[in-house]
Amino acid sequence: MNRATPAPLSGLLAGPPAAVVTAGASLLADALTAQAVAVEPVDWRPPLAADGLDVPAALARVLADPRREEADATAVGRMLAAGAQLVDVRPASEALGLERGTFLHAGPPVAWEAASGPLRGALMGAAVLEGLAATPEEAERGLAAGAFAWEPCHHHRAVGPMAGVVSPSMWVFELEDPVGGGRAYCSLNEGLGKVLRYGAYGPEVLDRLRWMSAVLGPLLQGAVRAAGPVDVRAIVAQMLQMGDEGHNRNRAGTLMLLRELLPALIDGGAPSSDVARAAAFVSGNDHFFLNLVMPACKLATDAARDVPGSSLVVAMARNGTEFGIQVSGTGDRWFTGPAQVPEGLFLGDYGPQDANPDIGDSAITETAGIGGFAMAAAPAIVRFVGGDVELALATTQRMYEITLAESPSYQVPVLGFRGTPTGIDVTRVVRTGILPQINTGMAGRVAGTGQVGAGLVTPPPGVFTAALAALAEAAPPA
C-alpha cells in the first residue's frame, strides 16, 4: 500500500460510520440503532403519480442528466445574486410599448371562453378605462368578439397581482437588476376591496385608476427620479425581519418605501394636496409595496431562466382558470393544470362558494423564496391566511425540502436567521409530494365582485409531473 495515496472510497473503511442515512424499511434502520449506530432516517414517500408517465423512470432520467448539478447551481446562483432597484415609474404604453387595444394579464395564456369572472371583469374595466368602450357591457361584447388582444404579463417581463390586468394608460414601476441588467415591471397597487385586480370595475374603481394615472404615477416618477434608485431588495430583506412575508403582508415594506420617497415627494413642487393624498393613499394601503416585491422577485427568477438541464422553477402564475409554471431548463413553455380554490378566511359574509379559483402572478414571490416560503417570518399573518404560528414555522421549514438553496439576503429571525428556502426544484416536488405553499388573496367568482378573502393554496400536482416529463425528454440519452 502506498502511504502517499489517500484512503480509498473517501475513507469508508477507516472506521465505523458516525451516522447512516436510511431511506426505506424502518426495520433496517432499527437494526443499525440496535448496533448503537446513529441513523438519520428519511421520511420517504412514493413520488407523485401521473397518468401515462413512469414517474420513477422520468425522475431517474432527469436526476442522472449530467448537466443537471451544474445547471441547477448556475440557475439558483443567478436567482440569489440578482439585485432589484426601482429606477423609474412610467406609463405602460411607454415602458412596455403596450399599444391601445392590447392588455396584459396574470398567469398563462387564456382565451375569453375560458377566462374566469375576475379576469373578465378586470379586462372589461380596463377597456372602459382606455376609452375602448363606453360601458362594461359594451367592453364585454368587444372582448368576447376578439376586438382586443391580451397576453400574459410574464411574456413582457412584467408581473400582475390577481387578474394582473395592465392597460396602456396605467403607470408601472420599472425595476432593474444591477447584477444581470434585467428589467421588470409591475402596475401600481390600487388598495383592497373593490379594485380592478380583483375583477371589480365600478365607477369608483375606474375613478381611482384615473387618479393613479393622472396624479400618483407622475408624483412617484418625480420622487424616484430625484431620490432613486431605491434598493428594493434591501427593503425586502428588512421587511422579512419586521414581520412581513412579502406576499400577503407588506406593511413594513410599504412604510419603508414611503420613508425613502417622502422627502422627494414633498420637495417635488407638486401641490401639497396632491402630495398629501398620495402619501395617505400609499400609507393607507398595506399592500402598496407588493407591487415592488413582485417585480423584484421577477428579476431574480428571470435571471435564472434558460439554463439547459436545470429543473429550477422560474415562474408560478395563475389566470383564475389554470395554474402554470415555467422551468429554467424548458424555456418559455408553460406547464398548466386547473387552478385550485384557496382555503382561508372570508371577508364579511362571503364564503367558499363565492371564491374564484386561484389567480395572479403574485406567486412569483414564492418562486423567488419569500411569501408562503417565508411564512415563519410573518407570525402576524397566519390568522389572516387561516393558520396558526406553528403552521407558519412548519410551512417554511417544509419548503426547504423542495428548494435548491437558502437565501443569503432574505432571512427568518425566528429560525435563527436561517435564509429563506429558495429555488423550487421540480424533481424534489415530485419526489416528496410536497407542493409549494402559496399565500394568496381570493377574488370573487363573479366579475365585478372584488376581493372576498385570503388564504392558502397549492399548485395542482400535475404541473410538476408534466414539467418532469419535459425535462426527461430534454435530457441526453443515458
Partner 1 sequence: MSGSTRVRVRPGAYHDSVSLMQVSGAVGRAPGVSAALVAMATPLNVELAAGMGLPAPEGAGPNDLLVALRGEDEAALDGAEQVLEQALAGLSAPASAGWGAPPPPRTTAAAAARAADAGLALVSVPGPSACAEALDALRAGLSVMVFSDNVPVEQEVLLKDEAARRDLLVMGPDCGTAVVAGVGLGFANAVRPGPVGLVAASGTGAQQVMALLDASGVGVSHCLGLGGRDLSAAVGGRSARQALRALDADPATELVVLVSKPPAPEVAEEVAALAASLGTPVQLALLGPDRDDLTAAARAAVEAVGGTWSAPERWDPAGHDDAGLRRAPVLRGLFAGGTLCDEAMAVAARALGPVRSNIPLDPAWALPDDLATAGAGHAMLDLGDDRMTQGRAHPMIDQRTRLDRLAQEADDPDVGVLLLDVVLGHGAHPDPASELAPALGAAVARAAGQGRRLDVVVSLCGTDADPQGLRQQAAALAGAGAQVHRSNAAAARAAVALATAPATAPATASPEVPA
Q: By the criterion CB under 8 A, which residues form the site for partner 1?
A: 1, 5, 7-29, 31-32, 34-35, 37-38, 40-47, 49, 54, 56-57, 59-60, 63-64, 69, 389-390, 393-394, 397-398, 400-401, 414-415, 427-428, 431-434, 478
Per DSSP (E only), the strands in 55-141 are 85-91, 102-105
Question: C-beta of 154: minimal distance to partner 1 in Å?
Answer: 29
Shortest reach from residue 293's CB to partner 1, in Å? 26
DSSP code per residue over 200-213: --SHHHHHHHHHII
- Cα separation, 257 vs 268, in Å, equals 17
Would you say 37 or 347 has its CB closer to partner 1? Answer: 37
**How many Cα neighbours within 13 Å face the side chain of 385?**
27
In this structure, what C-alpha cell is assigned to residue 212? Answer: 393613479
Q: Which is nearer to partner 1, 251 or 431 (CB)?
A: 431
DSSP, collapsed to helix, strand or coil, labels residue 315 as: strand
Nearer to partner 1, 45 or 383 (CB): 45
Nearer to partner 1, 9 or 145 (CB): 9
Residues 6+ apart with CB under 8 A from 428: 401, 402, 403, 404, 434
Nearer to partner 1, 258 or 394 (CB): 394
5 vs 273 by CB, closer to partner 1: 5
Of 164 and 421, which has the nearer Cβ to partner 1? 421
199 HSE (CA, 13 A, CB side): 30
Closest CA to 186 of 277, 112, 106, 250: 106
Nearest of 439, 407, 412 to residue 423 by alpha carbon: 407
Please state the closest distance from residue 61 (CB atom) to partner 1, in A.
9
Pick between residue 75 and residue 163 the one whose CB is nearest to partner 1: 75
Cis peptide before 203 (omega within 30 of 0): no
Output the smallest distance, CB 184 to partner 1, in A.
Answer: 31
Least distance between partner 1 and beta carbon 185 (Å) = 36
Is residue 196 a contact partner of residue 125, using CB atoms and an 8 Å limit?
Answer: yes
The answer for residues whose C-beta is within 8 angstroms of residue 443's C-beta and 6 or more apart is 117, 118, 162, 163, 198, 199, 320, 355, 356, 359, 449, 450, 451, 452
Smallest gap from residue 9 Cβ to partner 1 (A): 5
Q: Closest distance between partner 1 and the C-beta of residue 455, in Å?
A: 20
Contact 79, 301 (CB under 8 A): yes
DSSP assignment of 257-297:
HHHHHHHHHHTT-S-HHHHHHHHHHHHT-TTTTHHHHHHHH
Least Å distance between CB 71 and partner 1? 14
In the complex with partner 1, the residue whose CB is nearer, 82 or 405, is 405
Nearer to partner 1, 54 or 267 (CB): 54
Edge-to-edge order in the sheet of strand 230-231: 183-187, 171-176, 85-91, 230-231
Q: How far is the CB of 101 from partner 1 (least distance, A)?
A: 48
Least Cβ distance, residue 44 to partner 1 (angstroms): 5
